[in-house]
Amino acid sequence: MKKFVYLLMVLLLCSTVQAYILISQEAIKKEISPFGTAEFKLNIKNTGFSKEVLKIISADVTWNVQTDPLTDYMNGIEIPGASSKETKLLLKPDRNIKEGTYFVQVDFIQENEKKLSEFFEIRVDSKIIDYPIFVSAEITEPAKIDPRKPASVSVRIRNDNPIYITGAKIQLSSKYINQEANVDIPANSEKIVQFSVSFTETIHQQKDTVKVIVSKENDTIAQTQKEIEISTYIKPYQTETKRVNEFLKIIDEVTFKNIEPVEKEQAAIFPVSDLSGIFTETKPKSKIIEMEGKKYFVWEDVSLKPNEAYTVKVITNYRIPALFALLFIVLIVLYYINRSPIVVRKHAEKVKIKEGGISELNVVINIKNRSNKTIKDVRVLDRLPKLSGISEEFGQGTPEPKIRKHHKEGFVLDWEGLLLEPGEERIFSYKIESKLPIVGNLELKPTLIQFGPKKRKVYSNVFNLFVE
């Protein structure tokens, strides 16, 4: 009985001893990208005799803490007395973290609220790739290759990832191409890679599918393809031209001849003159195409045996455009011959408003002799609105009308016997008054000018004033 009591006392004593926790760490992955996750293996030893549960808290808000298994983080790490347990600690930074070495503090909270702190050394480097990356690739040119000339295939690589991609391999392949290049692509940028390619002149015309594969450490991160046309080099027909010149007309007789020892079927081509293209027709009819910035007449599918010839006519006719140009010149001459030598314009100024309507204004008439001859017997007739009256005041240089008479539509002012020298401009102005305010639209009718022995006539514009 004494032994049992003694053993029970020993057990109670041991249970009152505070557990001592030892934490050791081993780095599994401590060099990461801003998008990576650092990994550490933790060994936690409980030297006490009672069970202990540790809660994990990150002391740095820029780092997210988890464990593997996740239950150790969610529920706490449970370590029985006098034993140890292993778990994996995962530390993931905020994506906007800068490069550098960090000592991340992680706190382990015991049940008695005692805190144990551990520091984990982590290096962040944007050149490290520890997550899936993808880039875009595009074959930008060419669409067509002439086998006679050196050519290049351009590949645009776009890196929209926030990391610097080093040693990316670009493979260019097709039926006739097999090339590769290694490039570095900075973060959020693009790079154009040129591949020089060449073909033999004897290659036949065809379409070749060019493929591009971009890889990083044997992982494909982009691929694309494009169909490129390879043209065939065909020696053109021998060309001989005979020209006949007529009045405003050129006739080119063009003969195409096959001087090769085999029968050929190909297009016959003749250059289009820069000045004659729109005035030119061909017999037989042809198409016009543009090659390397120049235009050509093309007769398609011309089949010729050895030493056989094919003749066409290229006719450039300037007669019709010359006729139109002549008619245009005649019309211009007739216009200048028949146009009125006198120009007259009319407007109003110094308009006064009284009681919401027009009470007074000045009428101005500009008369100009735009010819190089003196014009005699010039007469100026101007009609005024019926509701208006004429002031005795006339503008400077304006003679008084010889006749003032009342017309059924209003007053008529009449100046006659005037003379206009070549290029002379005269200004007639006078004031009109209205006893009652004129509301609404006031129309100043056109001024009539008569001149010369034949009493030719010319009218000014109509001038309108509107008061609400």
Q: What is the pLDDT of residues 18-46, one digit of tens each?
A: 558 899 999 999 999 888 899 999 999 99
* Architecture field, domain 16-124: Sandwich (2.60)
**% of the chain beyond a pLDDT of 70:** 90
In angstroms, rounded to a whole number, what is the distance separating the alpha carbons of residues 47 and 43?
13
User: Which residue has better confidence, 133 or 316?
Assistant: 316
Residues of the chain with CATH 2.60.40.1530: 342-467
In angstroms, rounded to a whole number, what is the distance separating the alpha carbons of residues 136 and 460?
71
Q: Which residues of 240-277 are buried (b: 16+ CB within 10 A; e: fewer)?
A: eeeeeeeeeebebebebbbeeeeebebbbbbebeeeee
**% of the chain beyond a pLDDT of 90:** 34
pLDDT band at 408 (very low <50, low <70, confident <90, very high): low
In angstroms, rounded to a whole number, what is the distance separating the alpha carbons of residues 257 and 305?
9
Q: Which residues of 27-63 are buried (b: 16+ CB within 10 A; e: fewer)?
A: eeeeebbbbbbbbbebebebebeeebebbbeeeeeeb
pLDDT value of residue 336: 78
pLDDT band at 17 (very low <50, low <70, confident <90, very high): very low
Element (H, E) at 401: none
The 10s digit of each residue's pLDDT in 315-370 is 988 888 888 899 999 998 888 777 888 899 999 888 888 877 877 888 899 999 99
How much is the average pLDDT of 59-69?
Answer: 90
Q: Judging by DSSP bridges, how do beta strands 456-459 and 403-407 pair with one another?
A: unpaired
CATH topology of domain 238-319: Immunoglobulin-like (2.60.40)
pLDDT value of residue 219: 85
User: Which residue has better confidence, 253 or 262?
Assistant: 253
Q: Which CATH class is domain 136-230?
A: mainly beta
3-state secondary structure at position 424: coil
User: Which residue has better confidence, 218 or 327?
Assistant: 327
The residues, ordered by sequence, that sit 6+ positions from 107 with a Cβ below 8 Å of its Cβ are: 56, 57, 58, 59, 115, 116, 117
Question: Is it the case that residue 256 has pLDDT exceeding 80?
Answer: yes
How much is the average pLDDT of 273-299?
Answer: 82
The amino acid at residue 333 is V
Residues of the chain with CATH 2.60.40.10: 136-230
pLDDT value of residue 10: 46
State the CB neighbour count (10 A cutoff) for residue 375.
19
Phi (first) and psi of residue 386, to 5 degrees: -65, -35
| Contact between residue 312 and residue 267 where contact means Cβ atoms under 8 Å apart | no
The residues, ordered by sequence, that sit 6+ positions from 309 with a Cβ below 8 Å of its Cβ are: 255, 256, 257, 258
pLDDT value of residue 232: 63
How much is the average pLDDT of 286-305?
Answer: 86
* Domain 342-467, CATH among 2.60.120.10, 3.40.30.10, 3.90.1150.10, 2.60.40.1530: 2.60.40.1530
Q: Which residues of 180-204 are buried (b: 16+ CB within 10 A; e: fewer)?
A: eeebebeeeeebebebebebeeeee
Q: Which residues of 64-82 are buried (b: 16+ CB within 10 A; e: fewer)?
A: ebbbeeeebbeebbebeee
In angstroms, rounded to a whole number, what is the distance separating the alpha carbons of residues 427 and 446?
15
Question: Is it the case that residue 244 has pLDDT exceeding 80?
Answer: yes
Q: Which residues of 104-129 are buried (b: 16+ CB within 10 A; e: fewer)?
A: bebebebeeeeeeebebebebbbebb
pLDDT band at 119 (very low <50, low <70, confident <90, very high): very high
In angstroms, rounded to a whole number, what is the distance separating the alpha carbons of residues 152 and 193?
10
The Cα angle at residue 89 between residues 83 and 91, in degrees rounded to 5: 160
3-state secondary structure at position 175: coil
pLDDT value of residue 16: 42
Residues of the chain with CATH 2.60.120.570: 16-124
DSSP, res 13: H
| Contact between residue 253 and residue 240 where contact means Cβ atoms under 8 Å apart | no
The amino acid at residue 457 is K
Question: Is it the case that residue 405 has pLDDT exceeding 70?
Answer: no
3-state secondary structure at position 328: helix
Phi (first) and psi of residue 203, to 5 degrees: -65, 140
pLDDT value of residue 56: 92
- For residue 162 the two structure tokens come to 């926030």
The Cα angle at residue 365 between residues 360 and 366, in degrees rounded to 5: 145
In angstroms, rounded to a whole number, what is the distance separating the alpha carbons of residues 423 and 234?
70
Question: Is it the case that residue 162 has pLDDT exceeding 80?
Answer: no
| Contact between residue 433 and residue 383 where contact means Cβ atoms under 8 Å apart | no
Question: Is it the case that residue 66 has pLDDT exceeding 90?
Answer: yes
Q: Judging by DSSP bridges, how do beta strands 31-32 and 151-159 pair with one another?
A: unpaired
**CA 366 to chain centroid:** 51
Q: What does pLDDT average to over the chain?
A: 85
| Contact between residue 214 and residue 190 where contact means Cβ atoms under 8 Å apart | no
The residues, ordered by sequence, that sit 6+ positions from 182 with a Cβ below 8 Å of its Cβ are: 167, 168, 169, 170
